[in-house]
Amino acid sequence: MTFPITGVKKVEGEAREVACALCGLRDTRRLYTKYGWGIERCRGCGLVYANPRAPEAAILERYNAEYFWNEYLPAAGAAGGAIDNDLLDGRHGDMLRLIAGEAQGPGRMLEVGSGAGLFLHAASRAGWTPAGVELSPDGASFARDRLGLDVRTERAEAMTFEPRSFAVAVMFDVIEHLFDPRAVLEATRRALTPGGLLVLTTPNFDALSRHALGVAWAVLNPFEHLYYFTEATLAALLSACGFDNVRRVRSFAGWGAIESMNYRYTHAPGSWRTSLYERGVSRLTPGQVHSVQRWGAADTLLVLARSK
Higher pLDDT, 57 or 206: 206
Range with the lowest mean pLDDT among 55-59, 209-213, 228-232? Answer: 55-59
Residue 78, SS3 per DSSP: coil
The answer to whether residue 239 scores a pLDDT higher than 50 is yes
CA distances from 140 to 30, 152, 162 (A): 36, 6, 19
Percent of the chain with pLDDT over 70: 96
Mean pLDDT, range 148-173, rounded to an integer: 97
Q: What is the pLDDT of residues 246-298, one digit of tens each?
A: 999 998 989 999 999 999 999 999 999 999 999 999 999 999 999 999 999 99
Question: Does the pTM exceed 0.85?
Answer: yes
Mean pLDDT, range 35-55, rounded to an integer: 96
pLDDT of residue 105: 82
CA distances from 209 to 47, 50, 135, 202, 261 (A): 19, 19, 30, 14, 6
Range with the lowest mean pLDDT among 51-60, 144-153, 272-281? Answer: 51-60
CB atoms near residue 273 (< 10 Å): 16
pLDDT of residue 12: 59
pLDDT of residue 15: 87
pLDDT of residue 42: 98
Higher pLDDT, 247 or 9: 247
The answer to whether residue 78 scores a pLDDT higher than 90 is yes
Q: What is the pLDDT of residues 122-140, one digit of tens each?
A: 999 999 999 999 999 999 9
